[in-house]
Amino acid sequence: MEESRKVTIVEVGPRDGLQNEKAKISTRDKLALIRMLSEAGFSRIEATAFVSPKWVPQMADHDAVMRGAQRRPGLLLSALVPNEKGAVAAIAAGAQELAVFASASETFAEKNTNCTIAESIARFRPVLALAGQHGLPVRGYVSCAVDCPYEGAVAPEAVRDVCERLLEIGCSEVAVADTIGRATPARTDRMLSTVMKSVVAERLACHFHDTSGMALANIDIALAGGIRVFDSAAGGLGGCPYAPGAAGNLASGRLVRHLSDRGFVHGVNSEALERAEQFAARLRLAARD
Ligand code: HMG
Ligand code: MG
């Protein structure tokens, strides 16, 4: 198979999908969702977030989720971490990959992590050092890569700057994120073209929220630019509690169908994914009853 037709989907539903649900979802249900996603063939699943339970109560059971998540060869279970404390706990619980999260907007950095962009990068250095000691890869997110819920349009140069800093400190991949789903293909193109002046496509991933229904059109722009790693969440679950207006992530089923139609190979079984998506929808309904 031609290498450029291979695409990796990072299933972020158990973390980015569920973190925004107000009502408590049981650890057992979270583990069932992860098991179904694993059975659907995803090779990377972001299982939980080792963030402060005061900031995101839904992720308070991170330890039990990471310890209890079903593992299989070929699957990397990752954990979102904001600092060294989170990294220590995530690694102890068996995380196989870490993800740190920065922002291209100062206001969002403050609202989401109570620090400046520069302070967030400084906090990540010990995370990278620790991950290095354990041989774990670290993804770096850049939130508000197109728009910020507080500041509006974000300059593509600001996104490139944060991407460069995340790679400098040792991240193996940078995920540019349209946190509130306002990107259009033209704006995605401008942002990615600017970022790719200094970052090669092989180090980039795209994380689109589908608030405006444009996520798939934006994926096409990224594919044309050579990017082959994309995030999605089962059933389009999702949003960030500190990003008002952020609706669901791009739904995994929509992404899988879109990629299949275009002849890309992703390794996800559609029927098994549909079962996981139905389960995710029931979880959301139950949480909102
Ligand atoms: P802070 O209050 O400034 O932190 O929060 P602190 O260092 O002053 O500590 C305060 C308390 O938090 C202390 O506990 C610490 O021990 C504890 P206390 O003494 O009060 O009992 N604490 C922790 N507990 C557990 N795990 C930790 C941890 N660190 C400190 N890792 C902090 C700063 C970064 C911790 C906080 O702001 C936070 O946890 N923020 C997370 C917010 C979040 O998870 N947002 C959603 C994820 S990002 C996202 O969704 C975007 C993304 O999907 C991409 C996109 O779409 O844009 C990735
Ligand atoms: Mg997100």
| 34-46 residue pLDDT tens | 999 999 999 999 9
Q: Is the CB of 207 under 6 A from ligand 1?
A: yes
Q: Is the CB of 52 under 6 A from ligand 1?
A: yes
Say which ligand is closest to the CA of 237.
2
Tokens of 87: 């990294």
Tokens of 227: 């990017």
Comparing CA positions, the residue from 22, 9, 79, 18 lying closest to residue 236 is 18
Contact status, residue 235 vs residue 7, Cβ threshold 8 Å: no
Contact status, residue 36 vs residue 46, Cβ threshold 8 Å: no
Say which ligand is closest to the CA of 86.
1
CA dihedral 269, 79, 200, 122 (to 10 degrees): 170
Comparing CA positions, the residue from 162, 158, 213, 167 lying closest to residue 190 is 158
Query: Residue 1 Cα, ligand 2 centroid: separation in angstroms?
Result: 31
Ligand 1: atom nearest CA of 59 is 44
| pLDDT at 33 (0 to 100) | 98
Tens of pLDDT along 164-212?
Answer: 999 999 999 999 999 999 999 999 999 999 999 999 999 999 999 999 9
Where does the pLDDT of residue 262 fall: very low under 50, low under 70, confident under 90, or very high at 90 and above? very high
Query: Residue 49 Cα, ligand 1 centroid: separation in angstroms?
Result: 9
| pLDDT at 288 (0 to 100) | 67
Give the DSSP letter of residue 77: E
| pLDDT at 34 (0 to 100) | 98
- Residue among 11, 21, 52 whose CB has most ligand 1 atoms within 8 A, to mutate: 52
Comparing CA positions, the residue from 228, 239, 240, 234 lying closest to residue 280 is 234
| pLDDT at 181 (0 to 100) | 94
Q: Which whole number is the average pLDDT over 244-268?
A: 93
pLDDT exceeds 60 at position 277? yes
pLDDT exceeds 80 at position 287? no
Residue with tokens 């995030």: 231
Write the residue with the smallest CA distance to atom 55 of ligand 1: 179
Classify each residue of 113-132 as buried b or exposed e, where b means 16 or more C-beta atoms within 10 Å of its C-beta.
Answer: bebebeebbebbeebbebbe
Give the DSSP letter of residue 26: P
Q: Which whole number is the average pLDDT over 214-237?
A: 97
Rounded to the nearest 5°, which phi and psi values hold at 77?
Answer: -95, 120
Query: Residue 101 Cα, ligand 2 centroid: separation in angstroms?
Result: 10
Q: From CA 147, how far away is CA 177, in angstroms rounded?
A: 10
Q: What is the residue-averaged pLDDT of the chain?
A: 95
Contact status, residue 232 vs residue 201, Cβ threshold 8 Å: no
Tokens of 268: 């996800």
Say which ligand is closest to the CA of 144.
1
CA distances for 208 relative to 36, 146, 160, 229, 279, angstroms:
22, 10, 17, 12, 22
pLDDT exceeds 90 at position 238? no
Q: From CA 187, how far away is CA 200, in angstroms rounded?
A: 19
Where does the pLDDT of residue 289 fall: very low under 50, low under 70, confident under 90, or very high at 90 and above? low
Query: Residue 119 Cα, ligand 1 centroid: separation in angstroms?
Result: 13
Indicate left, alpha or beta for 160 from its phi (over 0: left) and psi (-120 to 50: alpha): alpha
Write the residue with the smallest CA distance to atom 3 of ligand 1: 114
Q: Is the CB of 124 under 6 A from ligand 1?
A: no
Amino acid identity, residue 266? H
Q: From CA 82, how far away is CA 279, in angstroms rounded?
A: 29
Where does the pLDDT of residue 244 fall: very low under 50, low under 70, confident under 90, or very high at 90 and above? confident
Q: Is the CB of 230 under 6 A from ligand 1?
A: no
Q: What is the DSSP string of 218-268?
A: HHHHHHHTT--EEEEBGGG----TTSTT--PBPBHHHHHHHHHHTT-B---
Tens of pLDDT along 8-52?
Answer: 999 999 999 999 888 999 999 999 999 999 999 999 999 999 999
Tens of pLDDT along 107-156?
Answer: 999 999 999 999 999 999 999 999 999 999 999 999 999 999 999 999 99
| pLDDT at 22 (0 to 100) | 87
Is 163 in the active site?
Answer: no
Where does the pLDDT of residue 2 fall: very low under 50, low under 70, confident under 90, or very high at 90 and above? low
Q: Is the CB of 242 under 6 A from ligand 1?
A: yes
| pLDDT at 239 (0 to 100) | 75
Query: Residue 212 Cα, ligand 2 centroid: separation in angstroms?
Result: 14
Tokens of 140: 């770096």
pLDDT exceeds 90 at position 247? no
Amino acid identity, residue 5? R
Write the residue with the smallest CA distance to atom 24 of ligand 1: 52
3-288 — its CATH code? 3.20.20.70
